[in-house]
């Protein structure tokens, strides 16, 4: 999504006569002084330039301050700036430089495609190449490309080459789409909160296959359980959940997921999960004779609403 957004800016810049492009990569001996030098230099070949800054990771404070100064200065019609980066730290956004940059520049926030929105996103991409797919095929493709939008785009383009415009043949298209899904621990947490046992199994299998640390999975599940217990306490005390959730770093669509889990889970299930997670943490740190994955799988399935015997955890 970031790649496509930046490509749109470059296309618009070229159409407006900014024919030369200079790229500055912050992980190659870059310094903030390079911005001033690039702006001051004049091209021998084009009067208008696009100066592009690619930030590895989160932008440092000095870079944001320098860009805020550039954005606030009188416009230089010969230069346009484009920066791509991860989201700055919240403290930096709240600082004066961050506020100036957001007010004087055009800031485009790019968020991951949520799992529940992924089939619709795929359908939109298919329609852009004059193809359609039934809901079942969109759901299957979403499962196979989850968390890997670059590969998803390639798979969608491949369908455009393999099949004629119109309705895709379900079986042939399903066979053509590779399983390129990548899973994050947040995918597992979301499946637990939404009560989706099949997605829990897929997420755990993907995390294990990718060699993700068991201890990190334990930590995310434990934080989720503790947050749910705190929300239960707040609700019992009559506090509005919308006011409590931000203090637990629960924002946006995640608030609805926690609300869904609160309507489904009881306190006993959550309290029983904590000692099980402590045991899984011991296993993950190599202090037990067994891997933690089976314990995590059973616990996550129970939290997702699958009825299991007490001895299973």
CB neighbour list of residue 189: distance below 8 Å, 6 or more residues apart = 220, 221, 224
Cβ–Cβ under 8 Å, residues 142 and 187: no
Alpha carbons 154 and 259: distance in angstroms, whole number: 36
Is the per-residue pLDDT at 313 higher than 50? no
Query: 255-293 pLDDT, tens per residue?
Result: 999 999 999 999 999 999 999 999 999 988 877 667 889
Is the per-residue pLDDT at 61 higher than 90? no
Alpha carbons 175 and 83: distance in angstroms, whole number: 39
Q: What percent of the chain has pLDDT over 90?
A: 46
Cβ–Cβ under 8 Å, residues 154 and 144: no
Cβ–Cβ under 8 Å, residues 50 and 23: no
């Amino acid at each position: 999504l970031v790649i496509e957004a930046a490509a749109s800016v470059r296309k618009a810049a070229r159409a407006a006569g900014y024919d030369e492009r200079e790229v500055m990569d912050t992980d190659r001996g870059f310094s903030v002084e390079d911005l001033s030098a690039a702006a001051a230099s004049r091209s021998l070949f084009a009067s208008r330039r696009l100066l592009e800054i690619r930030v590895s990771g989160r932008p440092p404070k000095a870079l944001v301050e320098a860009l805020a100064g550039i954005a606030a200065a009188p416009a230089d019609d010969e230069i346009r700036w484009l920066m791509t980066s991860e989201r700055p730290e919240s403290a930096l956004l709240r600082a004066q430089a961050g506020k100036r940059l957001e007010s004087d520049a055009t800031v485009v926030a790019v968020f991951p495609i949520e799992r529940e929105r992924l089939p619709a996103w795929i359908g939109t991409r298919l329609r852009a190449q004059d193809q359609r797919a039934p809901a079942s095929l969109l759901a299957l493709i979403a499962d196979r490309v989850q968390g890997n939008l670059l590969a998803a785009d390639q798979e969608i383009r491949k369908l455009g080459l393999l099949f004629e415009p119109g309705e895709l043949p379900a079986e042939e298209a399903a066979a053509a789409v590779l399983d390129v899904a990548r899973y994050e621990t947040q995918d597992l947490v979301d499946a637990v909160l939404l009560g989706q046992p099949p997605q829990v199994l897929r997420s755990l299998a993907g995390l294990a296959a990718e060699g993700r640390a068991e201890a990190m999975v334990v930590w995310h599940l434990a934080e989720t359980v503790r947050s749910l217990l705190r929300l239960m306490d707040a609700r019992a005390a009559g506090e509005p959940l919308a006011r409590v959730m931000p203090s637990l770093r629960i924002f946006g669509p995640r608030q609805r997921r926690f609300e869904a889990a609160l309507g489904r889970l009881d306190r006993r299930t959550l309290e029983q999960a904590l000692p099980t997670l402590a045991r899984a943490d011991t296993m993950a740190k190599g202090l037990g004779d067994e891997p933690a994955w089976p314990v995590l799988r059973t616990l996550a399935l129970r939290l997702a609403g699958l009825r299991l015997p007490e001895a299973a955890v």
